[in-house]
Chains A and B, each alone.
Chain A
Amino acid sequence: MRFTLHIWRQENARAKGHFEKYDLDNISADCSFLEMLDILNERLINDRIAHPVCFDNDCREGICGMCGLYINGRPHGNDDGITTCQLHMRKFKDGDDIWIEPWRAKAFPVIRDLVVDRSAFDKIIQAGGYISTTTGGVPDANTILVPKHKADMAMDAASCIGCGACVAACKNASAMLFVGAKVSHLALLPQGKVEAADRVKKMVAKMDELGFGSCTNTYACEAECPKLIKRQNISRLNRHWIGSLLGRDRR
């Protein structure tokens, strides 16, 4: 297959940045999107055309959340419930123009080319997205009873891989789906419930401080989340936040 790539190139965080056009031929339809970029980089290096294009990636099997690229107007490209490493070139048509941009948000500044700094998410987690006690060894599974539907909801929320596609997709660059998922998966379980009120307050305050926008219920996040995290988690986040204001501390 043959493609025309338009890739955002930016020397460093302060540089202006621009789109660079690359023609790429002889790409297998079974090639993954990141492999296609590897091939491009190989050619750029071997033919001494330019510095390789920098992009984040790690596991390449959809579990780490590193590979964030905004491809033709959609985070992770034109498919539902996948990360960029799970996107394959057969999803495109031969001769397609492909525009590749980094996540755009004030809280996710570009470091270089397509790599953005997502440590804002770590800061939100550090603000309270954990259980503040050492829990010791693994207890028997049935020592604390958890209703099945709660366990399921917690598990669904816990599948968030922190990729930032929700922020990238949101017209307001809001991180509410991410924070909703992180607040939910702990608050739904007995161990996490104890600190729930405190946690939600701190994480929301951090989220605001870092310059993420606020949700206006467009749900682009839900449409683009590779782990199909649902908007109900945002609703739960709101509910718990209101609860925490009303002094409904669960301790």
Chain B
Amino acid sequence: MNLPKIHSISKKILVALLGAFLSIFLLFHACANLCILRHDGGAWYNAFCDFMGTNYVIKAFEIILFGALLLHIVLTIWLAITNKMARPKGYHKPQRSKTHTGSKLQVWTGILLLAGLIAHFMDFYFVKLGWVDGNLNFYEQAHEKFQIPHIAISYLIFFVVVWFHMRHGFAAIFQTFGLYNYKYGKAIEITGVIFATVVCLMFTAVVVGIYFGL
């Protein structure tokens, strides 16, 4: 099989760049979600959703975001295929080297993430687009959904997967851009853990908060 030729490092850089962009979006998304926890009947959150749904700049941004997501997925699949091709015959004994599990999990957490994301869109984004039935008032929609135990638990599992994917991704981005050095290596890894944890805790807070009626 002959795939179009792009330098291996270019592919990695693009994946990393798109990953960084998506992570920043997630942070933004998590911060916005915290408005749901205000006991204001959804005034702030719905106003925010309204803005997101009507502003043209945001609409353009939405397209870029989905483009980035799609490209991130396509490129990683492409990388995975070329990498598989680099070892046509594998080893009989499974690998026992001490490695970073994050990287080996990355493809699987990625696949889980995609499945989770589609489920998440069925609850919210597709409702907005009118593709599935649901409450267009996302503040109420969130309250309806997250009070159902199995949905709340699924979201919590989803956040754990997000955490794993982001924790590995964060340090990997620095490595790919050549910023991982002797001096800051450890600091970068710790920052990655903190970043992933903070983002996931913010998401978790909303689901747990709604579930327990806090």
A interface residue numbers (CB < 8 A to B): 6, 8, 19, 70, 72-75, 78, 99, 101, 104-107, 153, 169, 171-174, 204-205, 207-208, 211-220, 223-224, 230-232, 234-242
Asked if A174 contacts B91 (CB within 8 A), the reply is no
Q: Which residues of B contact A169 (CB under 8 A)?
A: 95, 97
Asked if B93 contacts A104 (CB within 8 A), the reply is no
Asked if B85 contacts A223 (CB within 8 A), the reply is no
- Determine whether B153 belongs to the interface, using a CB cutoff of 8 Å to chain A: no
Asked if B8 contacts A208 (CB within 8 A), the reply is yes
Most B C-beta atoms less than 10 A away, residue of A6, A153, A234: A234
Residue pairs across A and B with Cβ atoms less than 8 A apart, 9 shown, are A104-B91, A153-B182, A172-B83, A213-B86, A216-B12, A217-B100, A217-B171, A235-B174, A240-B178
CB nearest to A215 among chain B residues? B12
Given A169-B95, A171-B95, A204-B7, A212-B175 contact (CB < 8 Å): no
B interface residue numbers (CB < 8 A to A): 5, 7-9, 11-13, 79, 82-83, 85-100, 103-104, 106, 168, 171-172, 174-182, 185
Asked if A74 contacts B168 (CB within 8 A), the reply is no
The distance in angstroms between the C-alpha atoms of A212 and B82, with both chains bound, is: 9
Chain B: minimal CB distance from A84 (Å): 15
The distance in angstroms between the C-alpha atoms of A108 and B115, with both chains bound, is: 37
Chain A: minimal CB distance from B13 (Å): 7
CB nearest to A169 among chain B residues? B97
Q: Considering the complex of A and B, which 8 residue pairs feature the smallest CB-CB distances, nearest first? A: A239-B178, A213-B86, A214-B8, A172-B83, A73-B96, A218-B103, A213-B83, A173-B86
Asked if B182 contacts A232 (CB within 8 A), the reply is yes
CB nearest to B106 among chain A residues? A216
Given A232-B182, A234-B175, A223-B83 contact (CB < 8 Å): no
The distance in angstroms between the C-alpha atoms of A244 and B5, with both chains bound, is: 19
Asked if A239 contacts B95 (CB within 8 A), the reply is no
Q: Which residues of B contact A215 (CB under 8 A)?
A: 8, 12
Given A101-B91, A204-B9, A215-B12, A242-B178 contact (CB < 8 Å): yes
Give the residue of B79, B100, B180 whose beta carbon is less than 8 angstroms from that of A235: B180
Given A74-B97, A101-B91, A204-B8, A216-B177 contact (CB < 8 Å): no
The distance in angstroms between the C-alpha atoms of A55 and B31, with both chains bound, is: 59
Chain A: minimal CB distance from B87 (Å): 4
Given A99-B93, A105-B86, A106-B86, A208-B7 contact (CB < 8 Å): yes
Asked if B97 contacts A101 (CB within 8 A), the reply is no
The distance in angstroms between the C-alpha atoms of A101 and B93, with both chains bound, is: 9
The distance in angstroms between the C-alpha atoms of A101 and B118, with both chains bound, is: 43
The distance in angstroms between the C-alpha atoms of A238 and B10, with both chains bound, is: 9
Asked if A217 contacts B168 (CB within 8 A), the reply is yes
Asked if B104 contacts A171 (CB within 8 A), the reply is yes
Chain B: minimal CB distance from A49 (Å): 22
Asked if A208 contacts B5 (CB within 8 A), the reply is yes
CB nearest to B5 among chain A residues? A208
Chain B: minimal CB distance from A63 (Å): 22
The distance in angstroms between the C-alpha atoms of A205 and B99, with both chains bound, is: 27
Asked if A231 contacts B178 (CB within 8 A), the reply is no
The distance in angstroms between the C-alpha atoms of A153 and B183, with both chains bound, is: 12
Given A101-B93, A214-B79, A235-B175, A106-B85 contact (CB < 8 Å): yes
Asked if A235 contacts B178 (CB within 8 A), the reply is yes
Chain A: minimal CB distance from B150 (Å): 34
CB nearest to A108 among chain B residues? B87
